[in-house]
């Protein structure tokens, strides 16, 4: 797929990876819309498995902050990487960037927490490497709505697409005749829960 098409938000299924950032148990009570964010993230995690899209998972200082929430089955992830850096691009992840896809990695679908810290810094580093980033707003959150929504504004400024769970899924499927459409359709049968994004649309 040409760089020109990527600029318009296309998601090539064979040149894409999903990055799940730090959705850990100890953040549950602190992060707004946490349970709804997990619900959206769960659809994306399952989509990555159905479509055989590489899933990269990080956990921020898991010894102190716990592991990825149990609602998410990440057993098919290419790796679950502990980190202390805020960006997901710690050395082990960087070493795998070139081998994630059968062809060159061109797009990353990014989701998790916190939008204004780990998500933003990861997106900036990926963008600097020439990788188009799609930040899934209804699967990202922070401890405050102000930090979350202003992060989305900054992410737009650096060239990221601010998107939603269903938008990502339909862009990957592209056609009702996709061989996996029946499996994915079950995920989108239930509408995505409210995560306060109506405020973002007014900014």
Just list the catalytic residues. Answer: 22, 83, 118
Q: How many residues does the chain have?
A: 203
| Cα 79 from Cα 10, distance rounded (Å) | 25
| Cα 55 from Cα 24, distance rounded (Å) | 16
DSSP reduced 3-state for 7: helix
Contact by Cβ (8 Å): 93, 55: no
| Cα 24 from Cα 126, distance rounded (Å) | 22
Q: How far is CA 69 from CA 38, 84, 165, 183, in A?
A: 8, 18, 19, 23
Taking the CA atoms of the chain, what radius of gyration do you get in angstroms? 15
| Cα 152 from Cα 93, distance rounded (Å) | 24
How does DSSP classify residue 202? T
Cis peptide before 68 (omega within 30 of 0): no
Q: Is the sign of the CA dihedral 183, 59, 111, 122 positive or negative?
A: negative
């Amino acid at each position: 797929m040409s760089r020109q098409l990527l600029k318009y938000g296309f998601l090539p299924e064979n040149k894409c990876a999903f990055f799940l950032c730090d959705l850990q148990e100890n953040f549950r009570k602190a992060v707004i819309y946490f349970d709804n964010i997990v619900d959206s993230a769960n659809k994306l995690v399952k989509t990555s498995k159905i479509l055989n899209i590489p899933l990269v998972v990080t956990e921020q200082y898991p010894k102190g902050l716990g592991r990825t929430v149990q609602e998410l089955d990440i057993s098919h992830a290419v790796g679950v990487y502990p980190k202390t850096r805020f960006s997901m691009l710690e050395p082990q992840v960087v070493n795998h960037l070139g081998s994630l896809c059968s062809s060159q990695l061109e797009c990353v679908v990014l989701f998790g927490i916190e939008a204004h810290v780990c998500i933003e810094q990861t997106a900036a580093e990926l963008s600097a490497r020439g990788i188009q980033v799609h930040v899934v707003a209804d699967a990202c959150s922070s401890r405050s709505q102000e930090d979350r929504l202003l992060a989305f504004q900054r992410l737009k400024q650096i060239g990221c697409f601010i998107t939603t769970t269903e938008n990502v899924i339909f862009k990957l499927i592209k056609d009702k005749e996709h061989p996996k459409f029946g499996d994915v359709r079950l995920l989108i049968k239930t509408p995505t829960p409210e995560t306060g994004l109506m405020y973002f649309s007014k900014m």
